[in-house]
Chains A and B, each alone.
Chain A
Amino acid sequence: MCDVAGNRNRVFEIFGIPSTALFGQLLIGLINGSFYALLSLGLAVIFGMLNIINFSHGAQYMLGAFVAYLLLQYSGLGYWPALIVAPLIVGITGVIVERLFLQWLYKLDHLYGLLLTFGLALIIEGVARNQFGSAGLPYTLPDSLRGGQNLGFMFLPNYRAWVIVASLTICIGTWFVIERTRLGANLRAATENPTLVRAFGINVPRMITLTYGFGVALAAFAGVMAAPIYNVSPQMGSELIIVVFAVVVIGGMGSILGAIVTGFGLGVIEGLTKVFFPEASNTVIFVIMAIVLLVRPAGLFGRRA
């Protein structure tokens, strides 16, 4: 074998696995991890304020991808504007959903929130299937993010690098806003004791509405980023959301940073499983969940014992 040119990847082996395959799967793991992190972050933020597990989170992620697709098809708005516009549109639908439906459930058992948002997920997915069929639709990559970098040991497509950087930025930004700013302090206070915070003259119901809108917008943002990688399809959200639930159970919803770390970590572990033990790659996260439940029932970052 002559590898004179040097611009080809130098392939070496780790535990009998070619390095390109290993790093390739690691990269896919990080990408999946970014989606897990973004979605579980949104779930945690919504749960903190509304005490509702947003089952329609996966459907709203799918909605984000579809809005981006429709913007490109019918109004010629490309990827970059869609990255702002689609989460905004989906976020507004979230605000409407909260005002129309969710606000009546806060005094009831948590289970009703789960059931109602499950119903919403069925409606959104059903409508999407009727309009677009079950087959996936392709979303073309923006020109500015085509191509990739040769890192010597692997080929790194620019778009995938962008997804990881962007989601990390959004995750850390969200963490910063909630844990380190005045707005976040109000939010955390309202989670602990809404009545007291209202007494200080803060409009808590409006805050709850906007929190839901923001959480939903995060899901849509993830959806837009996912559109060029996976096909845009009606069922892209429903399977993802179940994995994200497992991620949330593993991490516990008490900590924002915990959700981010768990999301990325599990993505990487899933990627590695694909290399070493491909049969288990679909189930590894659920198995980890079972182990965590046995060893640390409250979850890795759970507050309650």
Chain B
Amino acid sequence: MEQRVADTLAKKPSVLRGHAETIAFMVMVAALIAAPFFTYPLFLMQAMCFALFACAFNLLIGYVGLLSFGHALYFGWASYLSAYSAKAWGFPPELAILTGTATAAICGLLAGSLAIRRQGIYFAMITLALAQMMYFFALQAKFTGGEDGIQAVPRGFLFGLIDLRNEATMYVVVLVIFLAGFLFIYRIIHSPFGEVLKAIRENEQRAISLGYKTDRYKLVAFVLSATLAGAAGATKAIVLQLASLTDVNWPMSGEVVLMTLVGGLGTIFGPVVGSFVILLMQYKLAAVGEWVLVIQGVIFVACVLLFRRGVIGELANKLRIRL
């Protein structure tokens, strides 16, 4: 009898709980469709690019337990190649974004195969050092335009037909790219491959002893993450019509860590919320100049000490659902 009561009590909210992710996804999509009627579309498009960037980063830290402190490399170099191919070679936007994304995939393959040779804390230092190396290349290379960056990148015509200079059209394209990337990551996490990744995060030695070649899994996850970060950077270059050194420098790598940490490491919606929060903060605080750096530092410290689950992680924990 008691058992039955307990069962019904447990079952009652499970309809909602089982679909928490679906409901949250619907809410997110509805909000992103409605938002441009209330605030600047350009801000929203930028935020969606960063959200995809943070989701890609979260795929590594949240689901494989690898902290990459050099994700600016993939974001920034994809952004450069996308901007350059659109401006200098006259590529249409879809090809420009593909070029940038492919660049990030190659960079991810090279950097990833080096970085996975060491574990834990060394992994973070290696990814940071490699990103800094590529920052210096970007600084010295001719085609990146040095301190000026690549400016006035043409948005062009999607598939040669659709004019992206129209803000509404551009918004729809960015929304589609963001949602595609988001669902792709969701698919990865919930695939058998994703289960192995989580096993590596929990106990790599054990995963090895079960016969998994964990290095290969880690490398594939790294390349996927770099590629998606690249897609975000490449899209950003077309949206803002700009690729610059800010995109490849180490503070950018720090920013994506911050966005993910604020939203919640290892939650699906956390990085999205985190990137909107951090970007909104930067816009609101643009007037106070260097204090933004201090505030970001304080948020880092506060998150690590008091708030390790992040906004979405805390919420999910309170409601006992998965988000």
The yes or no answer to B17 lying at the interface (CB within 8 A) is no
Decide: B300 and A118 in contact? CB cutoff 8 A: yes
Question: Is B118 an interface residue, CB under 8 A from the partner?
Answer: yes
Assess the A130–B290 pair: CB atoms within 8 A: yes
B120 / chain A contacts, CB cutoff of 8 Å: 110-111
Contacting pair A111 B294 (CB below 8 A): no
B121 partner, pick from A110, A118, A120, A129, beta carbons under 8 A: A110
A283 to chain B: which residues have CB within 8 Å?
A: 133, 136-137
Closest to B304 in A: A116
A286–B293 alpha-carbon span in the complex (Å): 27
Taking chain A's interface residues, is the majority helix, strand, or loop, or is none over half, making it mixed?
Answer: helix
Whether the Cβ atoms of B305 and A104 lie closer than 8 Å is: yes
CB distance from A58 to the nearest CB of B (A): 11
- Alpha-carbon distance between A294 and B294 when the two chains are bound, in angstroms: 38
B residues less than 8 Å from A123 (CB atoms)? 293-294, 297-298, 301
A289 and B250 within 8 A (CB)? no
Q: Are A242 and B250 in contact (CB under 8 A)?
A: yes
Interface 9-residue window, one of B18-26, B35-43, B46-54, B124-132:
B124-132
Residue among A47, A116, A282 making CB contact with B301, cutoff 8 Å: A116
How far does the Cβ of B63 sit from chain A's closest Cβ, in whole Å? 14
B257 within 8 A of A: yes
Q: Nearest chain A CB to B256's CB is how many angstroms away?
A: 12
Interface residues on B, range: 35 or more
Determine whether A78 belongs to the interface, using a CB cutoff of 8 Å to chain B: no
A101 at the interface (CB under 8 A from B): yes
Q: Which residues of A contact B294 (CB under 8 A)?
A: 122-123, 126-127, 130
Nearest chain-A residue to B292 (Cβ)? A126
Q: How far is the CB of A126 from the nearest CB of chain B, in Å?
A: 3
Q: Is the CB of B298 within 8 A of A290?
A: no
Please determine whether B114 and A290 come into contact, CB atoms closer than 8 angstroms: yes
Does B304 lie within 8 Å of A248, measured CB to CB? no
- Closest beta carbon of chain A to B198's beta carbon, Å: 15
* Complex: A249 Cα to B292 Cα, angstroms: 31
B293 touches A249 (CB 8 A): no
Query: Is A130 in contact with B291, judged by CB distance below 8 angstroms?
Result: yes
Expressed in whole angstroms, the Cα–Cα distance for A15 and B316 within the complex equals 66
B297 touches A242 (CB 8 A): no
A245 on the B face (CB < 8 A) = yes
The digit string for A264-288, where 1 denotes a CB below 8 A from any CB of B, is 0000000000000001001100110
Contact A101 B254, CB 8 Å, known A126-B290, A130-B290, A130-B294: no
Docked complex Cα distance between A289 and B118 (Å):
12
| Contact present for A115 and B250 (CB under 8 Å) | no
Contact B124 A53 (CB under 8 A): yes
Q: Chain A nearest CB: distance from B57 CB in Å?
A: 13
Contact between B305 and A286, CB atoms less than 8 A apart: no
Any B CB within 8 A of the CB of A121: yes
Chain A contacts of B132 at CB under 8 A?
A: 239, 242-243, 246, 286
Query: Is A105 interfacial (CB 8 A cutoff)?
Result: yes
Bound CA span A101–B304, Å: 9
Chain B residue contacts of A245, Cβ below 8 A:
125, 128-129
Whether B291 contacts A119 by the Cβ 8 Å rule is no
Q: In A88-143, which residues have CB < 8 Å from any B CB?
A: 101, 104-105, 108-112, 114-116, 118-127, 129-130
* Alpha-carbon distance A112/B257, docked complex (angstroms): 11
Q: Which B residues are in CB contact (< 8 Å) with A293? A: 114, 117-118, 126
CB distance from B206 to the nearest CB of A (A): 17
- Residue interface mask A66-92, B partner, CB < 8 A = 1: 000000000000000000000000000
Cross-chain contact of A111 among B118, B124, B129, B303 (Cβ < 8 A): B124
On chain A, the residues within 8 Å of B140 by CB distance are: 279, 282
List of B residues within 8 angstroms of A119 by Cβ: 296-301, 304
B308 within 8 A of A: yes
**Cβ–Cβ < 8 Å partners of B129 in chain A:** 242-243, 245-246, 249, 286, 289
Q: Are A53 and B254 within 8 A (Cβ)?
A: no
Contact indicator A120/B261 (Cβ below 8 Å): no
Question: With an 8 A cutoff between CB atoms, is A297 at the interface?
Answer: yes
Residues of B within 8 A of A121 (CB): 297
Docked CA distance A53–B124 (Å)? 10
**Contact A249 B122, beta carbon cutoff 8 Å:** yes
B81 at the interface (CB under 8 A from A): no
Which chain B positions have C-beta within 8 A of A115?
257, 261, 300, 303-304
Does A238 make an interface contact (CB < 8 A)?
Answer: yes
Q: Which chain A positions have C-beta within 8 A of B296? A: 119, 122, 126
B136 touches A289 (CB 8 A): no
Contact of A116 among B250, B254, B291, B300 (CB under 8 A): B300
Interface pair B124/A287, CB less than 8 Å apart: no
Residue B78 at the chain A interface, CB threshold 8 Å: no
Which residues 260-293 of B have a CB within 8 angstroms of A? Answer: 261, 289-293
B304 close to A249 (CB less than 8 A): no
Q: In the complex the two chains form, what is the Cα distance from A47 to B139 in whole Å?
A: 32
B67 at the interface (CB under 8 A from A): yes
Whether A101 pairs with B136 at a CB distance below 8 angstroms is no
The 0/1 profile, CB within 8 Å of B marked 1, for residues 240-259 of chain A is 00110110110000000000
Beyond the given A245-B125, A249-B122, could you list 12 further A-B residue pairs with CB under 8 A, ordered by the A residue number?
A119-B296, A120-B297, A123-B301, A125-B293, A126-B291, A126-B296, A126-B297, A127-B294, A245-B129, A248-B125, A282-B136, A286-B136
Chain A to chain B: the 5 pairs with minimum beta-carbon distance, closest first: A119-B300, A122-B297, A126-B293, A123-B297, A286-B133
Chain B residues engaging chain A, CB cutoff 8 angstroms: 61, 65, 67, 69, 114, 117-118, 120-122, 124-126, 128-130, 132-133, 136-137, 139-140, 250, 254, 257, 261, 289-301, 303-305, 308
